[in-house]
Amino acid sequence: MEVLAEKRRRFEDAGRFPLRKVVLIGLAVVVVLFGGFYGYEKYRGSKQVGGVQVMSNVKYPATQVEMVTLDGATQTADGIAFALADLKKDLMVGFTYRRTNPMPQGYQLAAGGNVLPLMAYVAPSGRLVVATAFCEPCRSTTFHFEEKQLVCDVCFTRWDLSTLLGIGGGCFDYPPEEVTAEVRGDQVFVPTADLEAWVPRGYQEDVQIDPTMS
């Protein structure tokens, strides 16, 4: 009987999961989840867009913010400039750079010529962001804000305003691409280098084969 009782005890013990193991596994899971969340947040933070701080305590309207087309942007051989006051007033503006370096022919047909549509906006951080304003798959050149998200006016794909990381939509993998910009006095200035070098992502392989395309 003692032998039978001992076997029964061992069998029952084998079916139990020690509390210590449960606690240790639980702690390990929490550490992994926390580490993953921390790493993701650090990644997002390290990828924030924007340059110089142009505003503090940025508050977007409860309604959506529309892109205001600028007619007063001035282009020279060195770049293109517009009034910082216009950006602070409207929070998001659109303007067009006329390229010297030819774009791929297919792009020109879609964009309406050898031009590069651009946008400038004030990020939630208050920093200046200047980026391309061409949603390549759907060919939209206009966007708007909804809360802290950038939204394409045609396909309604959404990107995070602070990082330009995709949130959802059909053109998720084609966010506007940030270009170099600076503030000179009361003007926002965008140098030509990035603007002349930019190539639509759908044509980059073709340009590598034939550099004269861009």
Lowest mean pLDDT among 26-30, 117-121, 157-161: 26-30
- Average pLDDT over all residues of the chain: 84
* pLDDT score for 33: 45
Which letter, b or e, does each residue of 83-114 get, where b requires 16 or more Cβ atoms within 10 Å of its Cβ? bbebbeebbbbbbbbebeeebbeebeeebeeb
Residue 52 has pLDDT above 90, yes or no: yes
Residue 82 has pLDDT above 70, yes or no: yes
Give ∠ CA 191-197-199 in degrees, rounded to 5. 130
Q: What is the pTM of this model?
A: 0.76
Higher pLDDT, 25 or 200: 200
Note the CATH architecture for domain 65-213.
3-layer Sandwich (2.102)
> Confidence class of residue 2 from pLDDT cuts 50, 70 and 90?
low
Higher pLDDT, 72 or 79: 79
Say how far residue 100 (Cα) sits from the centre of its chain: 27
